[in-house]
Amino acid sequence: MMKTRYGYRPSRRRFLAGVGATAAAGLTLPKFGWAAEEPKLNFYNWDTYIGETTLDDFKKASGIEVKMDLFADNDELFAKLKEGNPGYDLIVPTNDYVERMISEDMLVEIDHSKISNLANIEDVFMKAVFDPGRRYSLPYMWGTIGIGYRKSALANPPTSWRSLYDSDEFSGRIALLADSGVVIGIGLKYLGYSFNDADPAHIKEVEALLIRQKGHIKTFAEDNGQDLLASGEVDLTMEWNGDILQVMDEDDDIGYSVPEEGGLLWEDTLAIPTGAPHPENAHRFIDYILDAQVGASIAEFIYYATPNKAAKQYLPADYLENPAIFPPPETVEKSETAIYLGEERQRLIDEAWTRINAA
Amino acid sequence: MHRSTSFWTFFLPPSLWLALFFLAPLALVFGFSFAEKRGLIDIVITGTLDNYLRALDPLYLRIFVKSFWFAGLTTLICLIMAFPIALIIAFSSAKWKPILLLLVILPFWTNLLIRTYALIAVLRTRGYVNFSAEWLWEKANAGLNLLGLGDYQLLGERFVPFELLYNNTAVVFGLVYVHLPFMVLPLYAALDRMDRSYIEASLDLGAGQLRTFFSVVMPLALPGIISGIIITFIPALGSFLTPDLLGGTDSQMIANVIERQFKSANDWPFGAALSFILMYITFFALAVRALADKGNRGSGSTPA
């Protein structure tokens, strides 16, 4: 039996060169506790997803130097770690990938006794379906997928996914995400099913719906829907709220709303991958991030919704009352989190997506 | 003894390099193409042909055909555009030659992704092409107003920007832009080596410019044309970034499907099979070319 877990190191050559032999040695060091760990931490994070001075402040507070590498999406993160951890101590996977990684023993348990700021987290996040008891992950930021739109081009803000999925009203002025799981999942929601519906007949319905609608859709955007919106290429785009927020900051004519059917709720988490060379340092950094003031400074800088209830007292009203950060509770109520539903569904979704693109 | 030592000092490093970073990964992917997925991560090489059979589904065959069509069209346009460019460079003075060649190679100094984004900024609705067109439209309209024809709105009520992005034309445009140097360089090499006296003889003997071009220059440049076609067509066939960024909702090429198998679909065996089908086709084309070469040399019709 041949497995894909080989001894060779995957392609993060640049990273390995930077960290050097120390990380490689760290991999094989037995765990002696804090004292044995060199003051280093290899953090694998999304781009522009940490406070401006968080890493420096942490170094001042703890003496631990954080080296941050960036990944572009969860697929990249997953692909990089599935061949064996190349030396990362702390990663930021999204909820459904946390689930996958738990099932493949790619994460180590977080020792809650070492996280003194655990009580700062809002209760609802401690009851996550994708990680019961939050044994493997703690919440970092959360948000939604909704519709970013140009206010002046629309009479009213969009209230339904119909504008994107089932209407020629905005023909040629629409972009959807180039993410098969999200586009088909939201399609399922629009048709009244669950985002996580696995019934092939229902997925087929979404496929037919999108093939019908395709002529009105300008493009499936590679995570640059906000640029298409900002440059006037499209007037409506399905996007992550954080991306739209960034362009809202520069352009008052851009708005964001989560349609009445509800959107996709996502949660990015802090997790420690199996084989992490510095797990103790990772615990300390997680605890540091969950501190009320640190959490507030990160949230204010990157402008995503924080799950840290203690941080809110340090945050300004325009952040707390921004509907693109915190959508109305009834919309959040109807939104769903993506659950990993097995390889069979994954294949159904990919084949449907291939057919939609080929049609 | 001495000879064999120096042989190994010279050939061991490149052989090791080739074996380690080219043959080994390739063999791995080849193995995956006969493998089955077990759960999320484990892949078991069982010798199954299921991945190849799945690739024969009309759905994927149509995408293969479409990719061939995109790559073929790209190659043809590159050939038509590159020939005059290569001719100009080959026939320019020794002073200009390196400058012109540099201009052809220059784009390679910038990353493909950045060049593609630059192309987006040029072609998009509020891009430089449309800005220029709008400016011309306004000037033309002002001119018509001056002539007293302003009320007829001959040029339309307002400027309608060209839809230059997010369609198949944009993909082919982008592919031509990226691959043009691959065609220019081998053509230039062939034309530069050409014995100019053949052209003079042809012209002296009464053949016109066109006749000389098609009957003398083209056949002499044939090896360059064939190399150019091969090294343009093969990378164009495997493009995924250009259709991703410049294409619309129906611009999917086979490499986009392959990329997804290694990422969101997480089906490495199927992705490996699709990649190797592309490889088989490429090898087949190269073999045909080699055979044709042999045939030519055997008949002795074109001595080198």
pLDDT of residue B144: 86
pLDDT of residue A5: 26
Residue A8: predicted pLDDT: 29
Question: B-contacting residues of A 227-286, CB under 8 Å?
Answer: 231-233
pTM (predicted TM-score):
0.80
**pLDDT for B56 beyond 80:** yes
Residue type, A172: G
Per mean pLDDT, which range of A26-35, B52-61, B151-160, B167-176 is the poorest? A26-35
Write the single-letter amino acid at A22. T
Residue B23 lies in a domain: no
CB contact under 8 A, A179 and B264: yes
Spell out which residues of chain B touch residue A73, defining contact as CB-CB under 8 Å. 263
Cβ separation B249–A219 shorter than 8 A:
yes
Domains and CATH numbers, chain A: 19-137+271-320 (3.40.190.10), 143-265+328-358 (3.40.190.10)
Domains: count for chain B? 1
Distance, in Å, from the CA atom of A96 to the CA atom of A23, rounded to the nearest integer, reads: 28
Q: What is the pLDDT of residue A9?
A: 28
Return d(Cα A262, Cα A282) in angstroms, integer. 35
Residue B10 located in a structural domain: no
Report how many helices (DSSP H) and strands (DSSP E) chain B contains, helices first: 15, 2
Q: Is residue B17 part of a domain?
A: no
CATH number, position B38: 1.10.3720.10
pLDDT of residue A14: 31
Output the average pLDDT for chain B.
89
Rounded Cα–Cα distance for residues A251 and B15 (Å) = 56
DSSP letters for A188-213: HHHTTS-TT---HHHHHHHHHHHHHH
A152/B contact by beta carbon, under 8 A:
no
Closest CA to A133 of A164, A102, A174, A89: A102
Chain A residues within an 8 Å CB radius of B41: 3-5, 82, 104
Residue B37 has pLDDT above 70, yes or no: yes
pLDDT at B299 over 70: no
How many beta carbons lie within 10 A of that of residue A337, not counting itself? 18
Is the model more confident about A107 or about B140?
A107
* Regions of chain A short of the pLDDT cut 70: 1-36
DSSP letter string over B196-230? HHHHHHHHHTT--HHHHIIIIIHHHTHHHHHHHHH
User: Quick one: pLDDT at residue A30?
Assistant: 42
* Over residues B186-200, mean pLDDT: 92
DSSP-derived secondary structure letter, A308: B
Measured at the CA of B22, the angle between CA B16 and CA B24, to 5 degrees, comes to 80
**Residues forming a β-bridge with A40:** A65
Of B40, B60, B262, the CB nearest to A103: B40
How confident is the model at residue A230, as a pLDDT? 94
- Residue B29 phi/psi, 5-degree rounding, is -65, -35
Which among A214, A219, A343 has CB closest to B37? A343
Question: What was the pLDDT predicted at A17?
Answer: 35
Q: Measured between CA atoms, how close is B202 to chain A, in angstroms?
A: 50
Interchain pair A233, B267: CB under 8 A? no
Query: Which site among B131, B249, B262 would you substitute to test the A interface, given the most A Cβ atoms closer than 10 Å to its Cβ?
Result: B249
Tell me the shortest Cα–Cα distance from A77 to chain B, in angstroms: 10
CA distance A251 to A301: 18
Residue B68 lies in a domain: yes
Chain B: residue whose CA lies nearest to A357: B250
CA angle B57/B23/A7 to nearest 5° reads: 95
**pLDDT for position A246:** 82
Of B35, B125, B248, Cβ closest to residue A232: B125
Domain with B62 in it? 28-124+164-299
A197 neighbors A203 (Cβ within 8 angstroms) = yes
B49 pLDDT exceeds 90?
A: yes
Kindly identify which residue of chain A lies nearest to residue B253, measuring between CA atoms: A358
Written as six digits, the tokens of B89 are: 């460079």
- B157 within domain boundaries: no
CA distance A355 to chain B (A): 7
8 Å CB contact of B59 and A355: yes
Determine which of A81, A274, A341, A357 to mutate to test the interface with B (most B C-beta atoms within 10 Å): A357
Tokens of A349: 């979704």
pLDDT of residue A12: 28
Q: Which of A178, A233, A343 sits opposite B125 (nearest CB)?
A: A233
Please check whether residue B245 lies inside any domain of the structure.
yes
pLDDT digits (tens, 9 = 90+) for B209-245: 899 989 999 999 999 999 999 999 999 999 999 999 9
Assigned token pair, B175: 């592919």
Name the minimum distance, in Å, from the CA of A255 to any CA of chain B: 20
Query: What is the torsion angle, in degrees rounded to the nearest 10, for the CA atoms of residue A280, residue A283, residue A285 and residue A286?
Result: 170
Nearest CA in chain A to B261: A350
Retrieve residue B250's tokens: 């129906």
Query: How close, in Å, is residue A100 to chain B by CA atoms?
Result: 8
pLDDT given at position B41: 76
Task: Please give the pLDDT value at position B296.
Answer: 66
Q: Which of B37, B40, B114, B165 to mutate to test the interface with A (most CBs of A within 10 A)?
A: B40
